[in-house]
Structure 1
Amino acid sequence: MIKIIRYISAFTLGSLPILGFTQIPKQYTQLAPAGWMVLSGASGDLNNDGRNDIALILEQKKTDHPLSKENGKALHNNKRKLSVFLNTAQGYTLTAENLTIPVAEQPNSCLLDPLAEADGVSINKGVLSIGFSYFMSCGGWEWPRHHYAFRWQNNHFKLIGFDYYSFHRANGEETNKSYNFSTMKRKEIVGGNMFESHKTQTKWNNFKTNQKLTLTNINFDDFYSQFEY
């Protein structure tokens, strides 16, 4: 997996970290459309045909809506997307795309770049995964992390799993939930603490969704409106 390398102290308040990149394979950059750059990429067999496919997180080089922060600097709100290319006999073919990847900076927000402390995109044993980290430099004590898992089924990438983990930066209390979209069961670990050893309890519950969530219709920016958790 090729991913963003950022340097950030999770408990340091301030501006966004400086962005640096590992060497992006030429194979990845050749798949990026004009006007877009590769932030993160992964390679692996997604449809069990013995050929390695490619998933890329892309960012638009120029923003469509230029805004400035209070200090006069440009807001980094360039659009992002996740694009998946299956390796076919005709070459790499764009098969699925999602346009709701969170941007680096939002107006009047203390939220740091959700990709800065996340695992980015990965492919493992046929499962496509992507994660986001929601660290607030002001105005919030919780530090949530989201992790999504998709599998190629019936010609689309079906959401099969969603993990939510968060802890309170002051008292260490943890929230740990895992949703299985194949069984529609939710696993919750209660009583955990980041700073202390606590006895935990595991609870199981059902949950509902009114639609079949896939990589193309999921809204990463407003995920909780798409299922009854």
Structure 2
Amino acid sequence: MQKITHKINIFLFGSLPVFCFAQIPDIYKQITPVGWTVLSGAQGDLNKDSKNDIALILEKNQTDHPVLKDDGTALHNNQRKLAVFFKTAQGYKLAAENRTLPPAEQPNTCLLDPLSESEGITIHKGILSLELSYFMACGGWEWPRHTYIFRWQNQQFALIGFDYYSFHRASGEETNKSYNFSTKKRKEILGANMFENTQTQTKWTDFKSTANLTLQNINFDDFYTQFNY
């Protein structure tokens, strides 16, 4: 992934916008729709035509739902989206987008920006991945990370994998699950601890998913309602 931004230390400045802009590639600016700003981007061949495609995380310049926090400042809840552009002979064309990415701030929660401590988007060997991080500044000890894995097939970006990793910041206990949406198999690592050398076990189970989840129809903000995890 080519990050366009660098992150502010969330432990000191968690209430501030988490991105400070560095230099953005001109091609990213050229394909960004009017009224949106690039947060991060990645390049690579996604549809096996040997051309360099682009995936961008974009944020709307203005919020559609203004909300004031208790201190009178504006909530940073501008809409975000993940947009993928295929390179063609006529230039870059929008191939798919999703507008359910969580915003930087949500009302009545200690959750920090899910993009602030994540890898964001990456493209590697034709696979598009998105990581979101759910760090609670108060009210929770767990620190989960979600990684969504997409592959272009049958003229759509199919969800082929989902990884869930979390650890307890006090005990160090880890939760590590990996879902393969092609085989409907779940791999779980049991007994791991971030602070200790522990004996672990690998457990395989089946899971159900009746929906054909794609980048276009997945709901990142409410993912667990979409399959039997």
- Quote the residue 1:6 is aligned against: 7
TM-score by length of 2: 0.96
Give the Å deviation of 1:72.
0.8
Q: Is the 8 A contact 1:110 1:138 kept in 2?
A: yes
Q: Is the 8 A contact 1:59 1:79 kept in 2?
A: yes
Give the Å deviation of 1:21.
2.4
Give the Å deviation of 1:9.
4.7
Residue correspondence of structure 1 range 21-40 to structure 2 within 5 A: 21-40=21-40
CA distance in 2, matches of 1:14, 1:123: 28
Give the Å deviation of 1:24.
1.1
CA distance in 1, matches of 2:82, 2:17: 22
CA distance in 1, matches of 2:215, 2:23: 27
Residue correspondence of structure 1 range 84-95 to structure 2 within 5 A: 84-95=84-95
Output one character per residue of 1:143-166: Cα deviation in whole Å (capped at 9) or x when no partner.
Answer: 000001100001000001100000
How large is the RMSD of aligned CA atoms in angstroms?
1.3
- Quote the residue 1:105 is aligned against: 105
- Quote the residue 1:160 is aligned against: 160
Q: Is the 8 A contact 1:13 1:138 kept in 2?
A: no
Alignment coverage as a number of residue pairs: 228
For structure 2, the residue ranges without an aligned partner over 5 or more in a row are none
CA distance in 1, matches of 2:207, 2:167: 23
Q: Is the 8 A contact 2:14 2:112 kept in 1?
A: no
Structure 1 residue runs of 4 or more that deviate by more than 2 Å after TM superposition: 12-19
Q: Is the 8 A contact 1:133 1:145 kept in 2?
A: yes
Change (3 A) 1:18 1:177: closer
Output one character per residue of 1:44-84: Cα deviation in whole Å (capped at 9) or x when no partner.
Answer: 00001010000000000000111111111110000000000
Name the SS of the counterpart of 1:28 in structure 2: helix
- Quote the residue 1:44 is aligned against: 44
Output one character per residue of 1:62-116: Cα deviation in whole Å (capped at 9) or x when no partner.
Answer: 0011111111111000000000001112211101000001100001110000000
Q: Is the 8 A contact 1:16 1:112 kept in 2?
A: no
Change (3 A) 1:17 1:123: same
- Quote the residue 2:64 is aligned against: 64
Name the SS of the counterpart of 1:30 in structure 2: helix
Q: Is the 8 A contact 1:6 1:17 kept in 2?
A: no
Q: Is the 8 A contact 1:69 1:75 kept in 2?
A: yes
Q: Is the 8 A contact 2:18 2:116 kept in 1?
A: no
Give the Å deviation of 1:19.
2.4
- Quote the residue 1:119 is aligned against: 119
Q: Is the 8 A contact 1:48 1:126 kept in 2?
A: yes
| Corresponding letter in the other structure for 2:6 | I
For structure 1, the residue ranges without an aligned partner over 5 or more in a row are none
CA distance in 2, matches of 1:204, 1:33: 44
CA distance in 1, matches of 2:25, 2:14: 32
CA distance in 2, matches of 1:190, 1:46: 34
TM-score by length of 1: 0.96
Give the Å deviation of 1:17.
5.8
- Quote the residue 2:186 is aligned against: 186
CA distance in 2, matches of 1:125, 1:205: 28
Give the Å deviation of 1:5.
1.4
- Quote the residue 2:130 is aligned against: 130
| Corresponding letter in the other structure for 2:177 | K
